[in-house]
Amino acid sequence: MTLDTVKIGLVSISDRASQGVYQDQGIPSLREWLSKALENTLEFVEVLIPDEQADIESALIKLADDDQCALICTTGGTGPAKRDVTPEATLAIAHREMPGFGEQMRQISLHFVPTAILSRQVAVIRSNSLIINLPGQPKAIAETLEGLKDEHGKSIVKGIFAAVPYCIDLIGGPYMETRDSVVKAFRPKSAIRPK
């Protein structure tokens, strides 16, 4: 079976990276982890913007409605600081909320940092796109998507990505295959397509 190409939007939200104060590591970290985790051919649409609610909303609308990305990952701007507005922007353009993702990401992150509860990250659906907020620390991207493994590679805490392919099936997106050594997608037996 030939796998579908998957279009993925990557949005890095950082005042300083967008001004060139430091080099953006958000988009490269997202691209690297997703390319490692997925067997499908991936087509990325990438945006680097400051923490401005209007800019974030229009970037998300364009990626969902015009580019038709099945998955959109944001990084940054989820904390309690005044300029952190990523969750507000995401909720403002959402059609439906998916609260399980935010709940699980905060649980996972508590295994890494006690400040995990400061992230207000959300996940939502807009039409056929799943949009997920990830924290801004570049290392938080793999932590929340993949979870935590012991020294033998055995999963201690499951990352949220295990649930992403089936969610995308259910909203009418492409069938995504993961590499089990990175993350094993879970689907009910009836939804698994033979390789």
Ligand X SMILES: Nc1ncnc2c1ncn2[C@@H]1O[C@H](COP(=O)(O)OP(=O)(O)OP(=O)(O)O)[C@@H](O)[C@H]1O
Ligand Y SMILES: Nc1nc2c(c(=O)[nH]1)N[C@H]1C(S)=C(S)[C@@H](COP(=O)(O)O)O[C@H]1N2
Instruction: Looking at residues 22 to 61 of the shown chain, list those that interact with ligand X (rule: CB under 6 A).
Output: 22, 24-26, 51
What are residue 34's phi and psi, to 5 degrees? -65, -35
133 sits in which H/E element: strand 129-134
- Residue closer to ligand Y by CB (options 106, 187) is 106
Give the amino acid at 123.
Answer: A
When binding is defined by CB under 6 A, the residue of 118, 148, 157, 171 that contacts ligand Y is: 118
What are residue 43's phi and psi, to 5 degrees? -120, 115
What are residue 45's phi and psi, to 5 degrees? -120, 120
When binding is defined by CB under 6 A, the residue of 29, 90, 144, 178 that contacts ligand Y is: 144
Residue 136 interacts with ligand Y (CB under 6 A): yes or no:
yes
Q: Closest Cα partner for 80 from 129, 126, 124, 120?
A: 120
Burial of residue 82, with CB atoms counted within 10 A of its CB: 0-12 exposed, 13-18 middle, 19 or more buried:
exposed
In angstroms, what is the minimal distance from the CB of 87 to ligand X? 12
Of ligand Y, ligand X, none, which one sits near residue 144, judging by CB under 5 to 8 A according to partner kind?
A: ligand Y
Residue 139 interacts with ligand X (CB under 6 A): yes or no:
no
Residue 113 interacts with ligand Y (CB under 6 A): yes or no:
yes
Please answer whether residues 136 and 75 qualify as being in contact, where contact means their C-beta atoms are separated by less than 8 angstroms: yes
Q: Which residues bind ligand X (CB under 6 A)?
A: 12, 14-17, 22, 24-26, 51, 76-77, 79, 81, 136-138
The contact set with ligand Y (CB under 6 A) reads 76-79, 84, 109, 112-113, 115-116, 118-119, 135-137, 140, 143-144
